Structures are given as structure tokens and as C-alpha cells.
């Protein structure tokens, strides 16, 4: 873990200074906001994915399967479809951020309350309902994208890819506070999470209030995913990638090790990858495209490996 911490500090320093030696005073402050966004999003996605896999007892699931990405796409498409890109671009970033976070939180709370708060209390039913709503949101968004002006369509597509290039500093402060509070809450319950990972029957036998703990973890997952998605956009497979790497590197299921390892791996991957992409290969492509490609391959490998067992 110490090596990962050193690697994370090194890639952050490298992102700030590589290629900026001639104008450190000018370029470093501009890059601080971007690296802060990458660190916050990396930690939020890593922690939320580990938590979601703990309560669902499934290593190939991420919170995005609940329809968060599809809802974000629907919000962006609906805003441009009904208001026009000019009006949407004129809205204050904090207002757009608040609306997007509120919509995703209300959606997740209603699903958790409706499906998991009833007598059945099945997590699999929660995931299934999330998938169904995700398909619905994606279908509605696709329909509107097909009938809007082609120029508006390009603007919508640009908003659906995660980007760290233009993050509002005010939102960074809000996100930092949310991620810090949520991470502190998760860390204080790391031993309880170890019990949850044993499965419902074992957790109940050991005296854990399984329903209450699971509901609390799901709400924290929804909060972290909503904040990170509203800040930079959706990154579907990134959490799957770093969470499974964290289990491999940590060599244990204990959350006292898996959570910090996953967070550090996320920072190294995002910041290091963006540094290499920009300053070694000189590419302007957003890193999320490559992350989605690699994460998709990892997802297929996990499915194939699971099928052989």
C-alpha cells in the first residue's frame, strides 16, 4: 500500500509539472483543478464499486448497472431537446450539477425504498429493476437524439463522455466535501462491511442488522456515483477495473485494505493515464474512452473466467 501511495503521489506530481517547466507559475494552477477532479472521481468510483460488490456479493457488478449512466444521458438529452443547447449552456454549472445529483439521488432512493424496503427485500430484484429502468431511460434518450437537430445531437454526444478539462472550481469544493464525508463514514464501518461480504445468512447469524446496513451502503453508493457522474460524466467500466485489480493486489477481502488500495489504483490509473496520453503520446483523446475499452475487456474476461468455474 505504501508503494501505491508513493506511485499516486508521483503521478500527481508528474501531471502537474511534466511539460510545464518553462511556465510553472502559469500552468500548474490550471492543472491543479483537473488533477483534483480526477482524484475525487477516482476515489468516489472506486469506493462505491467496492461497496456495491460487497452488498451484492458479485464481482462483475458496478453501481452503473442501476441505471445512473442512462439517467444522466436522459437528463442531458432532455435538457437539450426541450430547452435547446444555447439555454443549457447558459445555465450556471452549480444549478445543472444540483439538478443532476438530485435527480439521480431521488431515482435511487425511490428504487431502494420501493423494492428493497418492502417485504421481499431482494437485492437481485433491486438490480433487475435498475436494469429495466436503465433500458427505459436509454431508449427515451436515443429516441430524442434521433429527432433533434444534428448540431444539437453532436453537443449531446460531447456531454455523454467523461471529461476533466473544464470542471467548475466551486463544484470541486462541494464534491470534495461529499467524498470526504462519505469516505469517512465508510471507513468507520469497514469491519461491518467485512461481515456484510460474508452474505446475508452469515451476517444475520453474527448479529448484524443486514437490511439496515445494506440500505445505508446502497444510499452511500448512490451519493458517490451521483456526485462523480454529475461532475465529469459517466465512466461505466472504470469501477469494475480498479475494484478487481484491488482484490488482486490486496490479496484479501478485508475492506481496511481493499478500499484504500482501490482508491490509490484509481488515482494512479486516471492521473497516470492522462499524463501519458497527453505528454507522451501527445493525444487529445479523453482518457475515459480508453478506460471504457480496457474495462470492457476486463468485464468479458471476468465473465469467461466465471463461466469456466
Residue 24: predicted pLDDT:
65
Task: Tell me the H-state helices in 57-168.
Answer: 68-83, 85-90, 93-111, 123-147, 150-159
pLDDT per position as a tens digit, 81-139: 888 878 877 888 888 888 888 888 888 788 777 777 666 667 778 788 888 888 888 88
259-267: average pLDDT? 89
Res 287 pLDDT > 70: no
pLDDT per position as a tens digit, 48-75: 899 988 988 888 788 877 777 888 888 8
Query: DSSP per residue over 206-250, as a string?
Result: TT--HHHHHHHHHHHHHHHHHHHHHHH---TTHHHHHHHHHHHHH
pTM for the predicted model, two decimal places: 0.83
Q: Is the model more confident about 301 or about 147?
A: 147
Cα 100 to Cα 174: distance, rounded to the nearest angstrom: 14
187-191: average pLDDT? 90
Q: What angle do CA 297, 268, 184 make, to 5 degrees?
A: 105
48 in Cβ contact with 184 (< 8 Å) = no
Q: Is the model more confident about 287 or about 132?
A: 132
Q: Model confidence at 198, in pLDDT bands (50, 70, 90)?
A: confident
pLDDT per position as a tens digit, 141-186: 888 888 888 888 888 887 777 777 777 788 888 888 999 999 999 9
Res 303 pLDDT > 60: yes
Residue 123: predicted pLDDT:
76
233's CB contacts (< 8 A; 6+ apart) are 72, 159, 160, 161, 162, 163, 288
pLDDT per position as a tens digit, 11-49: 777 777 776 666 666 667 777 888 888 888 889 988 989
Residue 98: predicted pLDDT:
87
Residue 168: predicted pLDDT:
78
Q: Model confidence at 299, in pLDDT bands (50, 70, 90)?
A: low
Q: Is the model more confident about 78 or about 291?
A: 78
Give the other-Cβ count within 10 Å of 162's Cβ. 22
Amino acid at each position: 500500500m505504501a508503494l501505491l501511495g508513493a506511485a499516486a503521489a508521483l503521478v500527481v506530481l508528474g501531471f502537474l509539472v511534466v511539460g510545464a517547466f518553462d511556465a510553472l507559475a502559469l500552468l500548474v494552477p490550471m492543472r491543479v483543478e483537473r488533477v483534483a477532479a480526477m482524484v475525487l472521481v477516482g476515489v468516489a468510483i472506486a469506493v462505491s464499486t467496492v461497496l456495491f460488490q460487497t452488498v451484492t456479493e458479485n464481482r462483475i457488478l458496478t453501481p452503473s448497472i442501476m441505471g445512473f449512466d442512462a439517467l444522466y444521458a436522459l437528463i442531458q438529452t432532455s435538457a437539450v431537446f426541450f430547452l435547446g443547447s444555447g439555454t443549457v449552456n447558459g445555465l450556471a454549472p452549480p444549478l445543472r450539477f444540483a439538478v443532476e445529483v438530485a435527480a439521480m439521488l431521488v431515482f435511487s432512493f425511490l428504487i431502494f425504498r420501493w423494492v428493497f424496503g418492502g417485504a421481499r427485500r431482494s437485492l437481485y430484484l433491486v438490480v433487475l429493476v435498475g436494469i429495466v429502468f436503465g433500458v427505459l431511460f436509454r431508449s427515451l434518450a436515443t429516441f430524442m437524439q434521433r429527432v433533434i437537430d444534428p448540431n444539437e445531437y453532436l453537443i449531446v454526444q460531447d456531454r455523454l463522455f467523461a471529461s476533466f478539462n473544464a470542471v467548475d472550481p466551486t463544484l470541486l469544493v462541494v464534491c470534495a466535501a461529499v467524498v470526504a464525508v462519505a469516505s469517512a463514514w465508510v471507513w468507520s464501518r469497514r469491519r461491518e462491511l467485512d461481515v456484510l461480504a460474508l452474505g446475508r445468512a452469515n451476517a444475520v447469524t453474527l448479529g448484524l442488522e443486514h437490511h439496515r446496513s445494506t440500505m445505508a451502503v446502497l444510499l452511500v453508493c448512490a451519493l458517490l456515483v451521483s456526485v462523480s457522474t454529475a461532475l465529469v460524466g459517466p465512466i461505466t467500466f472504470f469501477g469494475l477495473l480498479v475494484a478487481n485489480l484491488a482484490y488482486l493486489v490486496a490479496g484479501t477481502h478485508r475492506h481496511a485494505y481493499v478500499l484504500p488500495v482501490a482508491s490509490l489504483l484509481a488515482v494512479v490509473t486516471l492521473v497516470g493515464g492522462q499524463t501519458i496520453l497527453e505528454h507522451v503520446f501527445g493525444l487529445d483523446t479523453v482518457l475515459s474512452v480508453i478506460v471504457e475499452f480496457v474495462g470492457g475487456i476486463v468485464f468479458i474476461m471476468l465473465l469467461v473466467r466465471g463461466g469456466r468455474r
